[in-house]
Amino acid sequence: MFARTLRLAPALLKTRTLTTTSRMSAPYQVIATDKAPAAIGPYVQAVSYNGLIYSSGAIPLDPQSMEVVPGGIEAQATQVFKNISGLLAASGITAAQVLKTTCFLKDMNDFVAFNKIYAEFFGETKPARSCVEVARLPKDVLVEIEFIAVSKQ
């Protein structure tokens, strides 16, 4: 069990104190932005803790309409990276600070096309990565990506 206390911080960041039975108590910030889709479940877009930023899985939803973008893997991957860019900007960092991504593809046959979009987004700053095929993703999208990044602080 753990208790959370909410304290508002600047901009769209919220600071919470996490307390567990193991006597761990440290502040973490909830990262929220309208430049990425709102959570579609009981989770937040991302959190910052101890100099690291952990994102929830980003799927290809348009942040305003909350609808899946039409098109194949290229269109959906492009939207996911737009959403990730919004989260990175809200965190005050860029793609260069991303340390690790975990990518979930509905069909591994999309791997080559996905890699092209992925490489364009990260350029020369390639993070560590895992990429797996999964049976199904939320809203039946083709791709979902989560990341861990280092904060500039």
Sheet order of strands, 25-31 included: 2-8, 14-20, 25-31, 46-49, 52-55, 143-150, 98-105, 128-133
Helix, coil or strand: residue 108: helix
Residues 6+ apart with CB under 8 A from 103: 114, 118, 129, 130, 131, 132, 143, 144, 145
Concerning whether 131 is annotated as a catalytic residue, the answer is yes
Residues 6+ apart with CB under 8 A from 3: 19
H/E run at residue 146:
strand 143-150
Of 69, 75, 131, 137, the active-site residue reads 131
- Indicate which residues carry an active-site annotation: 131
